[in-house]
Structure 1
Amino acid sequence: MSSFGRWLSKGLVVAAATSMGLVSVAQAQEAPEKFKIGGVTALSGPYGLLGEDMRRGVQIAIEERDGKIMGVPIEVVWEDDETKPQTAVQKTTKLISEGSHMIFGAVSSASTLAIMNLTKQRKIPHLVTISADDKITVPGGSRYTFRTSNNLDMENRMAWAYTEEKQIKKIYAVTADYQATRDGWTWFKKKAEENGVEIVGEDFAPLGNRDYSSIVDKITKSDAEGVALFMTGSDVVTFLKQASQVNLSESKIIFGPVVADDTMAEAVGTGALGVNSGLRYHYTTDNPANKKFVDAYYKKFGEFPAMTAGEAYDGMSWWLDIVEATKSWDKEVWIDAFENSVRENSVEGKKTMRPCDHQASQPGYWGEVVEGTPPAPALTMKITNVFTEDKLFKACAQ
């Protein structure tokens, strides 16, 4: 049967059912008592700090709408995935069964990919604002998953650009033993070797590793000019604290695709000074939307928003604005609208959702940990470079 025939057949069935009082368009579009958001993120373990910041960002996005969408109260139920994919699926299944209209999360790319498979199967919108694995947004990956934050490819490209800028010729790499970070290091290593950069050492540490002393000792004794860190969260904090005990940053350039933000710098202390990193968001970005968000966040929490807070706020605000604009309670209508949307007033500048892969194209920020001047924290990130989106994203295949 042709697509028109299927449409006509379906229309006749609906019309007949309506005439019999079995269904009505009004009932199908009836507003719920609450707009339910299921939040699945790390609230404990190595990524727990990141997950808590995400909750804060979402909270501000909802509060600035007076807690409502299309006149309906917004309710968020948070679940801790413990940075475990199986747990993430269990918690997401629970949230969907309880009537969530969308799923938000997670931190870990492994958890996000697991959630993505479930939301695709259940046809539930899924918003990603921090997980960077490239497999999350591939052409034809999932109609229901969208990422409004960076992907690994753009972050690796920024890290490589920094390597070239600093003319680093010898690198020692430390990578969290986790698929997304391993993939990032694999890409970077290939790029380095193709351009004559020597890899003098590489180590893979388990997530949540507490002892980097032997790795730091090897790096200290090596002739590496740069130390590339493919890790994040508490793993970075632990590594840099132990590296600072031997003043590693005085003899090596420490950098990575996404290793540093103000939260990390505060946790590490002065040992974070000089660390260079890609930034998924920073509160100093100079535009009206970001100033408004930073003011609201600071008023509520008494501090400037961290990376994951900014990204969570930005993605959730974008999503809620699009849903509101549709004036519909049909999830498929939300999906169609979001995949063709542009966020002119993002806290990071203009973002454009790519229909081909549901990845937001956007500028990329690179920064360095420096001493802050009040009211900034004692240690803060200084944006040192902004990469335009045409340098970071391949065009969608036509």
Structure 2
Amino acid sequence: MLGAIAAAGIGGAAGCTTGNGTETETDGDGGDGGGGSTTSQTTSQADVSASGTVKIGVMQPMSGDLQYYGMQAIWGFLSGLAYKTDTDPLTGVSEGTETIEDGDVTWELVFRDTEFSADKAQTIATNLAQDDEVDALFGGTSSAAAGRIIDTVINTQEVDIPYMAGPAASASITSSSKTCSPQVFRANENTAMDARSGGKYVAEETDVERVFLMGADYSFGRAVVQNYKEVLETNGVEIVGERFVPQGYDEFDGLFQQAVEADAQGVVGGFTVATLPNFLTAAANYDVRVFGGFATEITNSVLGGLLENLLGDDFTAQGMRDAEIGPFTTRYHWNQYDNDINSSFVDMYTSAYGKVPDLFTSGTFTAASSFHQAVHASGSTDGVDLVDAMTGMTVTDTPKGEDGYVFQEYNNQARSEMTVAYPVPTTDEWSDLWGASIQPSDPVSRVDKDQTTIPRGGMDCSL
């Protein structure tokens, strides 16, 4: 029962709410990951001499209840740009313009607060592209906001610049023909990568043979369920039931009873914060294992408090293992990668922001790194040239190591490795920088980047 609570709690908050209170992915597509050719263009920033100004519109929620989501995305981006320009990360940023000097190149960052509103994000993106004439756009914590920007700015106007979506995590952004575009890129991991990595681990590393799938009846829940289903069935795990329910649903006892009657050994719960508490309450009453992934500090704070109360004196690493709590997948956390780039990233991020890098930050670091690499590879600061340079790019400097992210040519989604870890009590080393009582353990497994994303044949986007 504890395992069910923990797995669902950690994985379920891989989303959040939109400005009007409805759910949308904010915390984040697989098979062989490729499903077609991807040309790796490992480019050196010294390839071509570049000069001029790169103007980037940065759009994230910088205020309100979900300010932390937007700020960690910005902090990751600023850390990536600082790493590439050999400067210290900007701190104390607010709406307005900041510049970073990088030899003959000036990086001009125009920050705008979306307030987690899709309407405001659309207006901001329009103004940045038309009035401010930026060379690139970056942002969108809400998948609804990212979709709106693509629909109304990138795909419908004569805007010849790249849009780097993220950390908005809906798989459809880069897998649906309605939103994928030669100008739309995403370095951040997405919900399908969560599900496909988790499904692979369940199939290969556990004795679970029968799984019941549950999800919220919209893009987030359907992405989780569909990608788990594909990977589990491919690896011989039987799907014994599949149910979708409205957001805020609170009659889970009936669904769990159906799972038990179907002889399910495990349950996948594709839910976010609006539905998760009801799901957890019911899960505690049934002897099934529930799968998920680690989310942000906010979710881990809530879950850690719950586990402390439930386990009491057994709130230890071994106690959680004995209670079958975990393991879970993670897109990125600060202690999952041991390389020089990540060590520098953790050091500069903690020094600048008083926090360890969180779930979104590796993807947004890589977004900045890819912009910088594109400028120096193309020798240009023009948006159209950045699009060409980033298409198929292998990003050299990333927190997951050198060449850790590759933009797939067929949909401009970056593939990257995912890890699997157990929850453990937060160590003294990190307690002042991580506001949750649980943290991921050292990785117990890694899922290679060629196995984490939706293959070409699994989507209706083909660039």
Q: Which TM-score applies when normalising by structure 2?
A: 0.66
1:226 aligned residue (266, 277, 282): 266
Residue type at the aligned position of 1:72? T
Deviation, structure 1 residue 92: 1.3
Question: What residue number does 1:354 align with?
Answer: 408
Q: Which has the higher helix share?
A: 1
1:166 equivalent to 2:206? Answer: yes
1:184 aligned residue (221, 224, 230): 224
1:101 equivalent to 2:120? Answer: no
Q: Is the 8 A contact 2:252 2:282 kept in 1?
A: no
Kindly report which structure 2 residues correspond to 1:234-249, keeping only aligned pairs within 5 A, or say none: 234-235=273-274, 239=276, 248=284
Deviation, structure 1 residue 56: 1.9
Separation in structure 2 between the aligned mates of residue 340 and residue 30 of structure 1, nearest angstrom: 23
Q: Considering only CA atoms, is the larger Rg found in Structure 1 or Structure 2?
A: 1
Question: What residue number does 1:54 align with?
Answer: 73
Residue type at the aligned position of 1:38? G
Deviation, structure 1 residue 38: 1.9
Count of residue pairs the alignment pairs up: 358
Separation in structure 1 between the aligned mates of residue 139 and residue 392 of structure 2, nearest angstrom: 21
Gaps of 5+ in 2: 1-49, 88-99, 308-319, 432-436
Question: What residue number does 1:15 align with?
Answer: none
User: Per-residue displacement from partner, 1:231-273 (whole Å, max 9, x unpaired)?
Assistant: 45x44xx725x666678299442322x4534442123324366
Compare relative contact order (CA 8 Å, sep 6+) and give the higher one, 1 or 2.
2
Separation in structure 2 between the aligned mates of residue 288 and residue 167 of structure 1, nearest angstrom: 36
2:422 is paired with a residue of what secondary structure? Answer: strand
Question: What residue number does 1:5 align with?
Answer: none
Question: What residue number does 1:376 align with?
Answer: 430
Question: What residue number does 2:243 align with?
Answer: 202
User: Per-residue displacement from partner, 1:140-160 (whole Å, max 9, x unpaired)?
Assistant: 841211121324443332122
1:76 is paired with a residue of what secondary structure? Answer: strand
Deviation, structure 1 residue 31: 3.6
1:260 equivalent to 2:290? Answer: no
Q: Is the 8 A contact 1:174 1:205 kept in 2?
A: no
User: Per-residue displacement from partner, 1:201-246 (whole Å, max 9, x unpaired)?
Assistant: 634342xx4xx654368538952533323245x44xx725x66667
Deviation, structure 1 residue 312: 1.2
Q: Is the 8 A contact 1:36 1:74 kept in 2?
A: yes
1:78 is paired with a residue of what secondary structure? Answer: strand
RMSD: 3.5
CA separation of 1:49/1:201 partners in 2, compared to 1, >3 Å: closer, same or farther?
farther
1:79 equivalent to 2:118? Answer: no
Gaps of 5+ in 1: 1-28
Q: Is the 8 A contact 1:154 1:392 kept in 2?
A: yes
Q: Is the 8 A contact 1:47 1:83 kept in 2?
A: no
Deviation, structure 1 residue 102: 1.3
Question: What residue number does 2:445 align with?
Answer: 385
Kindly report which structure 2 residues correspond to 1:1-398, keeping only aligned pairs within 5 A, or say none: 31-32=52-53, 35-42=54-61, 48-64=67-83, 65=85, 66=87, 67-69=100-102, 70-80=104-114, 82=116, 84=118, 86-96=119-129, 97-117=131-151, 118-120=153-155, 121=157, 122-138=159-175, 141-164=180-203, 165-189=205-229, 195=236, 197-200=238-241, 202-206=243-247, 209=248, 214-215=251-252, 219=256, 223=260, 224-232=264-272, 234-235=273-274, 239=276, 248=284, 251-256=287-292, 258=293, 260-271=295-306, 274-284=325-335, 285-349=337-401, 350-377=404-431, 378-382=437-441, 383-393=443-453, 394=455
Separation in structure 2 between the aligned mates of residue 259 and residue 205 of structure 1, nearest angstrom: 24
User: Identity over aligned residues, as a percent?
Assistant: 20
Q: Which TM-score applies when normalising by structure 1?
A: 0.76
Separation in structure 2 between the aligned mates of residue 226 and residue 333 of structure 1, nearest angstrom: 48
CA separation of 1:213/1:76 partners in 2, compared to 1, >3 Å: closer, same or farther?
same
Deviation, structure 1 residue 277: 3.5
User: Per-residue displacement from partner, 1:49-68 (whole Å, max 9, x unpaired)?
Assistant: 42232122123234443423
Residue type at the aligned position of 2:284? L
Residue type at the aligned position of 1:88? A
